[in-house]
Amino acid sequence: MSRCSSPCAAPCRNSSPSSASLPVADGEASEFQELELDNVHAGDRPQEECGVFGIFAPGVDVARRAFFGIFALQHRGQESAGIAVSDGSNMSLHTDMGLVNQIFNEEILSSLPGDLAVAHNRYSTTGSSELCNAQPIWMQSSEGRMALAHNGNLVNALSVRLEMEAAGVVFETSMDTEIIARTMDALVHLRLEEALLEMMSRIRGAYSLVMMTRDTLIGLRDPNGVRPLCLGRMIDGSGYVFASETCALTVVGAEFVRELEPGEIVFINREGVESVFYHGDAEAEDRDERPALCIFEFIYLARPDSQLRGRNVHGARRKMGELLARQAPVEADVVIGVPDSGLPAAIGYAAGSGIPYQEGLIKNRYIARTFIQPDQLQRELGVRLKLTPLNEVLEGQRVVVVEDSIVRGTTTKRIVQMIREAGAKEVHLRISSPPYKWPCFYGIDTAARKDLIAYGRSVEEIRQYNGADSLAYISMDNLVEAVGHPKQEFCRACFDGEYPIRVPHDIKYTKLVLGDDEANGANGSHGANGNGSNHAHTGVDSLAEMLPNGAGDPGPESEGENSLEGAPGREESGAHHEVVAV
Ligand code: SF4
């Protein structure tokens, strides 16, 4: 394996922490200490990490289409975004921090000529109040330079990276995505198809990839199909697209063709569309040989107008509410939902129970998400900035509040309190997911297990913490009925601890971390990672604490044993724009 000479295109911009501190009221601070909420991750829900998009459309201004593609996928990542295009002779790339429509304008899109593009938007924790790793990034192949965009998380990233570093490969980021890129660099002697299959045999985890050579667009899904990826066809016949979700198809003038199968690689160029399937590790013992689409995509992550496994996400959420009404009825006067993702289930609960549905919480649509706040107190404030109770609807009423999930419990507690302060007589919480008990290692930013409110607590204890009059979660059986496919076809690990891909022993933290604080910049900065490795680690969860029996490799348990201390962090500020010959 040779030393990596391929520059990583996407710059990492380590910046100084920008969060302003707020005065802390004693009482409020202690309230949060109650649950040891010391993790920097904001929000009270798992957060999706990354959306990917690709387009092959000869004769079409693909940069503009790619812009609208990732604009439609903005909910999957708001930290950074990028578009790479190829005109057959040159590849151009533009990446920057921020929302898609903050990064791109007419001038920038005009500087991205070509008929082939891949694009990416990325979520990263705001707690890591510096850094980023925007994508797409470059890699090499027998076909020359390629651009890569990734959604998901590799679970064996650390061991693969250490092995490669021992062989002399130099990494410029702490992204697990770069492991894919550098692995491909090392396989340039193989035909592209062979290199991709070999790369898949070396990595484990969740990965939906969109890539391009100078003339070919490629979509690839991991053997378990954890993260979604679909294929669309341009309605005018000009070409094809790949997208994380179907909601990105219509806006670019494409129609849905199908989802990529787990383990499928699809090549699209002027010669047509060709599929290849990965079967290389059918006997592998470190993952289940089954499809395992993330069931949380249905509950919260995906946009309601997307289709997954042939099921409309809004319809599935509404059905969850209907089934929850039957499973956990309560006498009440009004049903409200927590905007936005709790609304379809609330409508379903109202339909299933016969209790009128009303809007009881109004969302400030200009506050993106509460996780923009960097610390716990600001998160709490963020809830109030984001949601306002409608007193006219709530006063004197027995209220059913439907929410899609409770992760830490802090936001939900605040919502219950707000509704009571608005004059509600009773507040009954209904949750359209089962209790969230296990951390996700496959591309979703959750929390340390100790911070998951359902970890080690009964439903009654959670109800007491939230201050609701009653609390009920949907059962797994009802959830599965709502999504309309057999339970064994999904990853449900955050609810039942059945991880379809074994989590190696070197993942010792709350999420995948390829570098520790020291490794990724000074001042307590955190590892930069395009797909979930960009997290502060609290270093508190040993594997034994985090995983159910048998789910993890029985490896050594020494804390930080394989950390990448001293790994380089890239520093750069401002947008990155690059044009290279291919
Ligand atoms: S652990 Fe949960 S959030 Fe993560 S992929 Fe599985 S179902 Fe989705």
Return d(Cα 461, Cα 450) in angstroms, integer.
15
Query: E-assigned strands of 87-123?
Result: 90-97, 116-122
Nearest atom in ligand 1 to the alpha carbon of residue 441 is 4
Nearest Cα to Cα of residue 332 among 239, 408, 466, 430: 430
- Atom 5, ligand 1: residue with shortest CA distance: 294
Yes or no: say if 72 and 79 are a contact pair by the CB < 8 Å rule: no
- Atom 4, ligand 1: residue with shortest CA distance: 440
| C-alpha R_g of the chain | 23
Pairing status of strand 470-473 against strand 116-122: unpaired
Coil, strand or helix: which one is 538? coil
Pairing status of strand 208-212 against strand 217-221: antiparallel
Return d(Cα 190, Cα 168) in angstroms, integer.
20
Residues 507-558 pLDDT 10s: 644 444 454 333 333 333 222 233 333 322 323 333 434 444 444 443 332 2
Instruction: Work out the mean pLDDT of the chain and round it to a whole number.
Output: 80
Nearest atom in ligand 1 to the alpha carbon of residue 446 is 3
3-state DSSP of 133-202 = CCCCEEEEECCEEEEEEEECCECCHHHHHHHHHHCCCCCCCCCHHHHHHHHHHCCCCCCHHHHHHHHHHH
Yes or no: say if 402 and 349 are a contact pair by the CB < 8 Å rule: yes
Question: Can you give the pLDDT at residue 289?
Answer: 77
CA 78 to chain centre: 11
Query: Cβ < 6 Å from ligand 1: which residues?
Result: 46, 226, 294-296, 440, 442, 444, 491-494
Nearest atom in ligand 1 to the alpha carbon of residue 493 is 1
Nearest Cα to Cα of residue 454 among 441, 442, 471: 471
Return d(Cα 187, Cα 142) in angstroms, integer.
8
Nearest atom in ligand 1 to the alpha carbon of residue 46 is 3
Q: If you measure from the C-alpha of residue 492 to the centroid of ligand 1, how many angstroms do you get, rounded to a whole number?
A: 6
| DSSP letter string, 418-445 | HHHHTT-SEEEEEESS----S---SSEE
CA distances from 302 to 128, 260, 287, 491 (A): 24, 16, 25, 15
Question: Can you give the pLDDT at residue 417?
Answer: 94
3-state DSSP of 460-526 = HHHHHHHCCCEEEECCHHHHHHHHCCCHHHEECHHHHCCCCECECCCCCCCCCCCCCCHHHCCCCCC
Return d(Cα 396, Cα 93) in angstroms, integer.
57
Which of 123, 294, 445, when mutated, tests ligand 1's pocket best, judged by the most ligand atoms within 8 Å of its CB? 294
Residues 142-201 pLDDT 10s: 999 999 999 999 999 888 999 999 999 999 887 889 999 999 999 999 999 999 999 999
Q: If you measure from the C-alpha of residue 406 to the centroid of ligand 1, how many angstroms do you get, rounded to a whole number?
A: 14
Q: If you measure from the C-alpha of residue 331 to the centroid of ligand 1, how many angstroms do you get, rounded to a whole number?
A: 33
CA 110 to chain centre: 30
Q: If you measure from the C-alpha of residue 447 to the centroid of ligand 1, how many angstroms do you get, rounded to a whole number?
A: 13
Which of 48, 494, 503, when mutated, tests ligand 1's pocket best, judged by the most ligand atoms within 8 Å of its CB? 494
Return d(Cα 374, Cα 384) in angstroms, integer.
15
Yes or no: say if 539 and 526 are a contact pair by the CB < 8 Å rule: no
Q: List domains and CATH numbers for the chain.
A: 312-483 (3.40.50.2020)
Yes or no: say if 387 and 25 are a contact pair by the CB < 8 Å rule: no
Yes or no: say if 517 and 524 are a contact pair by the CB < 8 Å rule: yes
- Atom 8, ligand 1: residue with shortest CA distance: 294
Residues 310-362 pLDDT 10s: 999 999 999 999 999 999 999 999 999 999 889 999 999 999 999 999 999 99
Share above pLDDT 90 across residues of the chain, in percent, rounded to a whole number = 62
Q: If you measure from the C-alpha of residue 504 to the centroid of ligand 1, how many angstroms do you get, rounded to a whole number?
A: 16
Q: If you measure from the C-alpha of residue 568 to the centroid of ligand 1, how many angstroms do you get, rounded to a whole number?
A: 30
- In order along its 582 residues, the chain shows pLDDT tens digits of 333 333 333 333 333 222 222 222 233 322 222 222 223 233 455 555 799 999 999 999 899 999 999 999 999 988 899 999 999 999 999 999 889 999 999 999 999 999 999 999 987 633 343 345 789 999 999 999 999 999 999 999 888 999 999 999 999 887 889 999 999 999 999 999 999 999 999 999 999 999 999 999 999 999 999 999 999 999 999 999 999 999 999 999 999 999 999 999 999 999 999 999 998 765 666 777 789 999 999 999 999 999 999 999 999 999 999 999 999 999 999 999 999 889 999 999 999 999 999 999 998 766 554 444 445 555 556 666 678 999 999 999 999 999 999 988 888 999 999 999 999 999 999 999 999 999 998 988 776 788 899 999 999 999 999 999 999 999 999 999 999 999 999 999 999 999 999 887 766 444 444 543 333 333 332 222 333 333 223 233 334 344 444 444 433 322 222 233 333 333 345 788 889 988
pTM over 0.95: no
Q: If you measure from the C-alpha of residue 176 to the centroid of ligand 1, how many angstroms do you get, rounded to a whole number?
A: 18
3-state DSSP of 257-323 = EEECCCCEEEEEECCEEEEEECCCCCCCCCECCCCCEECHHHHHHCCCCCEECCEEHHHHHHHHHHH
Biggest CA–CA distance in the chain, Å, is: 72
Return d(Cα 48, Cα 34) in angstroms, integer.
27
Residue 62, C-beta contacts closer than 8 angstroms, at least 6 positions apart: 55, 56, 85, 114, 115, 116, 117
Q: If you measure from the C-alpha of residue 292 to the centroid of ligand 1, how many angstroms do you get, rounded to a whole number?
A: 9
Which residues are tagged catalytic? 50
- Atom 2, ligand 1: residue with shortest CA distance: 494
Return d(Cα 301, Cα 369) in angstroms, integer.
13
Return d(Cα 119, Cα 555) in angstroms, integer.
37
Question: Can you give the pLDDT at residue 542?
Answer: 36
| DSSP letter string, 209-256 | EEEE-SS-EEEEE-TT--S--EEEEETTSS-EEEESSTHHHHTTTEEE
Yes or no: say if 414 and 373 are a contact pair by the CB < 8 Å rule: no
Q: How many residues does the chain have?
A: 582
Q: If you measure from the C-alpha of residue 493 to the centroid of ligand 1, how many angstroms do you get, rounded to a whole number?
A: 6
Which of 50, 76, 405, 442, when mutated, tests ligand 1's pocket best, judged by the most ligand atoms within 8 Å of its CB? 442
